[in-house]
Amino acid sequence: MAIFKGAGVAIITPFHEDGSVNYEKLGELIEFQIANKTDAIIICGTTGEASTLTHEEHLECIKYTIDKVAKRVPVVAGTGSNCTETAIYLSQEAEKYGADALLVVTPYYNKATQKGLIAHYTAVADSVKLPIIMYNVPSRTGCNIQPETAVALAKNVENIVAIKEATGNISQVAKLMQLADGCIDVYSGNDDQIVPILSLGGLGVISVLSNVAPEETHNIVELYMNGRVKESAQLQLRALPLIDQLFCEVNPIPVKAAVNLMGMEVGPLRMPMTEIEEAHKESLKKAMEEFGINVK
């Protein structure tokens, strides 16, 4: 059974001005998402600035989210690391807290061979009982899960059940789907490729766009799943200018600026992320307004 179908938000982590995690604001963001049809909450991913959270903050964000969501939608905890032992530790803790699933990114910086990826994911999966979504984002990690590797893991490791595909390479996704023959669930990791990946049999998206347009992102998937493909595609295309602006600088710089422009006061970024350039901020604001988002 799928972890979720639809649009799961890769939720940002709000900070106070002093840089500490703002848990009260995180709670507000979670309520906003659930009220606007988000199908799952993905906490402590790339968009959540997990790489600059301490282990203690990382785990506290996961625990807070699980408790706040209270089983209303699935909570997927980002527990990946470039150190296998750290990924195991974070995954086991998230399981204890009651996460519904784990999102485990490929090792970054030190990277891994395909053999290394199989060993890494198998070790993490064997340490827990939770279903695991592999996260394939070579642009950030320098490491690509080849379709053959993903299928081998899904067929040989019981709780490796899905992959977040953020290669941007639709041909690779097509090959994965052909080789998998239904043995692995696929989620788009790119907001501009939701409909293309759905057309190949994907189940939805793990989305940055959902931070600012949760209902519309949910609707792209729901319309497609309900056979209203043309309307789904139209909404996908209408969102493209906004999606482009949400990636005008490295994620999550623009999306955090966007949520602040909505008046949600989610605070600054942690270095080495820096605040959005003023020209980009104006372009982002214009795209948000044209999409129908109320900017304060």
Distances (CA, A) of 225 to 4, 204, 240: 13, 9, 20
Calpha distance 16→7 (Å, rounded): 28
Low-confidence ranges of the chain (pLDDT < 50): none
From 63, 164, 256, 281, the catalytic residue: 164
pLDDT per residue as tens digits for the range 237-248: 999 999 999 999
How far is the CA of 39 from the CAs of 58, 124, 150, 179, 245, in angstroms?
22, 25, 24, 27, 24
**164 is an active site residue:** yes
Q: What pLDDT, on a 0 to 100 scale, did the predictor assign at position 1?
A: 87
Q: Do the Cβ atoms of 184 and 150 come closer than 8 Å?
A: yes
Task: DSSP for 266-296, please give it.
Answer: ---PPTT--PPPHHHHHHHHHHHHHHT----
Which of 25, 68, 121, 135 is catalytic? The answer is: 135
**Closest among 188, 290, 296 to 239, alpha carbons compared:** 290
Catalytic, 135? Answer yes
Q: How many residues are given for the chain?
A: 296
